[in-house]
Chains A and B, each alone.
Chain A
Amino acid sequence: MAVAARRLPFRGLYAFSMTELRVQLHESTAIVTSLILQVVLLLFVYILDRSLLPVALFGAILFSMFALGQRVQNEAAFVRIDHKLNELYLAGPLAPEAYFLGMSLGVLGGYLIPILVLVAATFYLVGISLTTALVLLAAAAGLWLFACSFGYFVSTLFRDMRTIWPYASIFYNLFGVLPPVFYPLSYWSGPLVPVALVVPPSAAAALVQWTIGWAMLSPWELALAAGSLALEGLGTFLFAIYWSRRTVREDA
């Protein structure tokens, strides 16, 4: 008997998240090795100036959340370009926004394990107060929302995988490593501070650094960092929902 299904917003989100989570968990090597860059950077910091370790540890957590955008970008592009599975899933009752968000949640679920390892290491080595924990959680959430939404959007712009890799690498390293994420905001000269406060990874890092006393932020600067991160996170997320619906058709 043929069965028709109704279409609802975010329909299939949970199931598709679980699908993507299974995919990620089967790639355990990639999950384990995702820690390497952070560990290497932490090692450098420890050798050069171990007093900066608290900043670098929180930076590593935030960078890990930001880097999930690159993973979403590569996964979405690979699934579309190489596997053509977007056609299988989107020409069906699964809502396009559930496809985008489910993929992002699945990737998050898989990579939560190394991120929690970093959180545990931070807690053990430098301690995490309740205020810091709450700010870290909110900042990480905003950063993740921005990164995975942006990553999904970028994934739809390319037609072959070889082109997408270098762009992904440039973007995520340029904005995740270069600004004050692994090092204190105070290392940036005054006129550049507002720039750091509107770039999502360094805005998130500035907020966390403020809670641990490594960044002196005026109320205006606090509002700028928190406001821009919230706006960028929510704005790109809403745009990604719109974009995921629009790009179901490949000639949209």
Chain B
Amino acid sequence: MTTEALLARDVRKTYSSRRAPSVEALAGVSLVVHPGERVALLGRNGAGKTTFLKIASTLLMPTGGTVEVFGHDAGTHPDEVRPMIAVVPQEGKPFFHLTPREQVFTYLRARGYDGAEAKSRTEDALGQMGLTEVANRLSITLSGGQRQRTMVATVIATEAPLLFLDEPTIGMDPFARRAVWESLRTLTRRGSTILLTTHYLDEAEALSQRLYIIERGRVLVDGTAATLKQELGGSLRVSIPNGERLSEVAKTFGSVLNDGEVLHVITTPERLPELMALATREHLTTTVGPVTLEEAFLRVVGRSIDREE
């Protein structure tokens, strides 16, 4: 029996339908999440992140492979797994006719917390999510971001051993996103483990201790954001719109990534002036910034995270 918080081996999932061709959502995903870790599944829409999360959280059966949660098989022993997990579903909404305070409190009660404990956790979670002022308003009157924060508050209040969060900060403003990140960091410090999916690169970078990049149902790479960026071979990104004609010569400056009509060159501070001069001679504009996870993603996947199939 493993002691990993989550251990997935060659997980496959094919959606079959009589009316449409079968779709292979997962084509052999293997990954591990250690206890107390924050791990992100990063990928474009339709990459298979949500399917994986549903299988791991016992809401879907895999076509092949296994997922173990704290040593229990999520496929064959879901009843052992479910008490140890809590899930923020993608695009989930709180009950429209409950207030955030009622939503969090009643959910904790349904999980078995006594009234006093549930009340204390509710107030704490609402405070963390900045919902105290709207805690007594029906959710139907709240903004999309506030509803999403209510969902996150509902789940973080449980402090379940393993939390699954599917795009937890979608629709939130920057301040709320940072509040969620801080709460999740606090949770892992207190012993919980977190697996989240996101297609926000900054979120994956700021929040996860390790990340897996998933594309078309496969894990393409895993590591820390820092190591993935290091593998690009430079610390600066020079973006040149319509710079396609420079792609050959740009290779002498470092890694070259092509994102549609924008040429990205990963280079070093020492080579920067020379590259800028080259672009200027060609009457091309340039934007310079530090290398981010976006370039690492582009290198690994071959296309931007925002680009649809």
Contact = CB atoms under 8 A, between A and B. Distances in A.
A6 interface: yes
Interface string B161-195: 10010000000000000000000000000111100
B9 interface: no
B95 A251 contact: no
A88 B107 contact: yes
B161 A88 contact: no
A251 B60 contact: yes
B61 interface: yes
B160 interface: yes
Interface stretch (A7-15, A189-197, A219-227): A7-15
Contact of A249 (B59, B111, B164, B193): B59
B92 A2 contact: no
B254 interface: no
The listed residue with most A CB atoms (<10 A of its CB), out of B97, B98, B151, B158, is B97
Contacts of B160: 2-4, 92
A192 to B, nearest CB: 38
Interface in A206-226: none
B301 to A, nearest CB: 27
A28 to B, nearest CB: 10
A40 interface: no
Interface centre among B59, B60, B192 (most CB of A within 10 A): B59
B208 interface: no
B79 interface: yes
A1 B191 contact: yes
Contacts of B110: 12, 15-16, 19, 89, 92, 94, 98, 102
B89 interface: yes
Contacts of A79: 95
Interface stretch (B80-88, B126-134, B223-231, B243-251): B80-88
B155 A19 contact: no
Given A11-B112, A18-B109, A91-B87, A2 B191 contact: yes
B111 A93 contact: yes
Contacts of A27: 97
Contacts of A90: 59, 82
B282 to A, nearest CB: 51
Given A22-B102, A249-B60, A251-B61, A84 B109 contact: no
Contact of B138 (A1, A18, A26, A92): A26
Given A16-B106, A83-B93, A91-B86, 11 more contacts: A5-B111, A6-B83, A19-B109, A22-B97, A22-B102, A84-B90, A89-B110, A92-B83, A92-B158, A249-B78, A250-B60
The list of the 6 closest CB pairs from A to B, nearest first, reads A26-B97, A15-B109, A87-B89, A19-B106, A2-B161, A5-B83
19 contacts: A1-B191, A2-B161, A3-B159, A7-B79, A11-B112, A18-B106, A22-B98, A22-B106, A23-B97, A24-B97, A26-B98, A83-B92, A84-B93, A88-B151, A89-B107, A91-B58, A91-B82, A248-B59, A251-B15
Interface of A: 1-7, 11-12, 15-16, 18-19, 22-24, 26-27, 79, 82-85, 87-94, 98, 102, 248-252
